[in-house]
């Protein structure tokens, strides 16, 4: 979506009219959808965003307010979810409203929105990079007890008979399962908290 906003701003700065603006953007992404690759072979738009682009194009070609069309189609295109993509479309609609109400050049408003989206993308990438280590650690610690059992069996010790054959072994097995599950849940909560997901 950051690229879409940047493209909208660039097309406006290039002198495109609002109806032509959405039509040209639609042609770019409709070709990507048909061929399965974009100009830089990067990821294209999601089906929901393609639908929103089509709605905006239709409204612009009819001369209807694009912001109202985007808002009206947003609930159905994203099926009631509150994703970042839906939020970006809402912000895009707000940019059109702000430019119309204030007389500020729409290209400048969209350029600022694109810069903000780029900052958010960079922050998300940094967050995912920072969380890669803790996620890998959680996965390793989850599988470590099973690897220990396998290593014990490979060395000739029968850990399963000890764990399942003696009361102390069964208590250790139950405690290990409970602590592993608790650690997994706790780690998942920490990761969700760092991401900002409730």
Render pLDDT for 57-102 as a digit per residue (tens, 0 to 9).
888 888 888 888 888 888 787 776 668 888 888 888 899 888 888 8
pTM over 0.85: no
28 and 114 inside one domain: yes
| pLDDT of amino acid 33 | 60
32 and 117 inside one domain: yes
The share of the chain scoring above pLDDT 70, in percent, equals 90
115 and 141 inside one domain: no
Residue 108, pLDDT > 80, answer yes
20 and 82 inside one domain: yes
| pLDDT of amino acid 39 | 44
Residue 194, pLDDT > 90, answer no
112 and 132 inside one domain: no
Q: Which CB contacts under 8 angstroms, 24+ apart, belong to 6-15?
A: 6/111, 6/114, 8/92, 8/110, 9/107, 9/110, 9/111, 9/114, 12/105, 12/106, 12/107, 12/110, 13/107
Mean pLDDT of 150-161: 86
Number of domains in the chain: 2
């Amino acid at each position: 979506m950051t690229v879409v906003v940047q493209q909208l701003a660039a097309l406006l700065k290039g002198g495109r009219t609002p109806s032509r603006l959405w039509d040209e953007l639609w042609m770019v992404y409709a070709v990507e959808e048909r061929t399965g690759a974009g100009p830089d072979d990067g990821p294209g738009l999601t089906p929901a965003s393609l639908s929103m682009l089509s709605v905006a194009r239709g409204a612009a070609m009819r001369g209807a307010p694009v912001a109202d069309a985007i808002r009206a189609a947003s609930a159905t295109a994203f099926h009631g979810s509150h994703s970042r993509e839906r939020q970006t479309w809402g912000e895009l609609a707000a940019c059109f409203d702000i430019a119309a109400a204030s007389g500020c050049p729409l290209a400048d408003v969209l350029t600022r929105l694109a810069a903000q989206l780029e900052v958010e993308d960079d922050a998300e990438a940094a967050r995912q990079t920072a969380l890669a280590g803790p996620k890998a650690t959680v996965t390793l610690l989850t599988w470590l007890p099973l690897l220990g059992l396998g290593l014990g069996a490979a060395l000739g010790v029968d850990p399963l008979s000890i764990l399942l054959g003696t009361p102390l072994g069964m208590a250790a097995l139950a405690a290990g399962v409970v602590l592993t599950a608790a650690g997994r849940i706790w780690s998942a909560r920490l990761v969700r908290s760092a991401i900002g997901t409730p």
